[in-house]
């Protein structure tokens, strides 16, 4: 069996590396060598945190050996910033989990009410202004549509506002994982996109999410259900 790429796991806002432990173990059981990258999501901005990932790799990884990257929420935006700023690394495939590639309505509400809650992660990241994905990057996006999480109250309020404004909305445009809209996870340059019945944090311990992540890292696409 050929050796798999090292997989770098990048957590989200207000989290630490341990939150990725369950997913890491499932990737390890599939034969991957993993590393859970930790960063200060509140104190430092996206540029500093991707620079520190570059520093860690410079000290601990052979630049000729390919790496895969998996990021949850804000972690997916750090991955986008990282692969843009540091093209010297040989990137295999990337997967983002619940990442608001188009910016976060929930974060926008929080930023306007109490900016300290999102810290420096809003500017150049959760505000939707991360650099475009480079053409050479193979990206798979997993979104959740189980609406349970701390941000659900903001999104429920936002959905009510949209309905009152008679904005023409389809049901899928209202779907979210309790923190991030499914529509916010979409990025035109992604190779594949899939929606699973999981919440924003619950996706990190969900077996199906782990299986789909492994499948994409191995095949460059998700395992979609074949209709009858």
The predicted pLDDT at position 228 comes to 44
Length reported for the chain: 228
pLDDT of residue 3: 67
Q: Name the architecture of domain 6-219.
A: 3-Layer(aba) Sandwich (3.40)
Helices (H), 67-206: 74-85, 105-113, 152-164, 171-174
Token couple for 57: 């790799």
Can you spell out the DSSP letters for 192-225? EEEEES--TTGGGG-HHHHHHHHHHHHHSS--PP
Mean pLDDT for back-to-back runs of 10 residues, the chain (228 residues): 82 94 96 95 92 97 95 97 97 98 88 80 88 95 91 75 66 83 95 97 97 97 75
pLDDT value, residue 161: 74
Q: What is the pTM of this model?
A: 0.91
Strand partners, 34: 7
């Amino acid at each position: 069996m050929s050796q798999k790429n090292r997989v770098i796991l990048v957590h989200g806002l207000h989290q630490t590396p341990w939150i990725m432990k369950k997913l890491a173990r499932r990737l390890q059981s599939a034969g991957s060598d993993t590393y859970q990258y930790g960063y200060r999501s509140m104190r430092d901005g996206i540029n500093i945190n991707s620079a520190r990932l570059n520093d860690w790799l410079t000290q601990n990884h052979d630049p000729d050996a390919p790496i895969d990257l998996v990021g949850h929420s804000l972690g997916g935006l750090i991955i986008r910033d990282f692969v843009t700023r540091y093209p010297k690394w040989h990137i295999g495939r990337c997967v983002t989990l619940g990442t608001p590639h188009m910016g976060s309505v929930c974060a926008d509400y929080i930023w306007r009410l109490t900016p300290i809650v999102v810290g420096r992660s809003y500017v150049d990241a959760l505000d939707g202004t991360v650099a475009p994905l480079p053409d050479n990057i193979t990206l798979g996006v997993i979104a959740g549509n189980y609406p349970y999480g701390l941000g659900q109250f903001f999104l429920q309020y936002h959905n009510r506002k949209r309905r009152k404004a008679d904005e023409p909305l389809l049901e899928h445009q209202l779907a979210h994982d309790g923190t991030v809209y499914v529509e916010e996870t979409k990025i035109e340059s992604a190779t594949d996109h899939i929606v699973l019945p999981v919440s924003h944090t619950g996706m990190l311990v969900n077996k199906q999410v782990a299986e789909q992540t492994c499948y994409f890292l191995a095949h460059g696409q998700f395992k979609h259900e074949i209709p009858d």
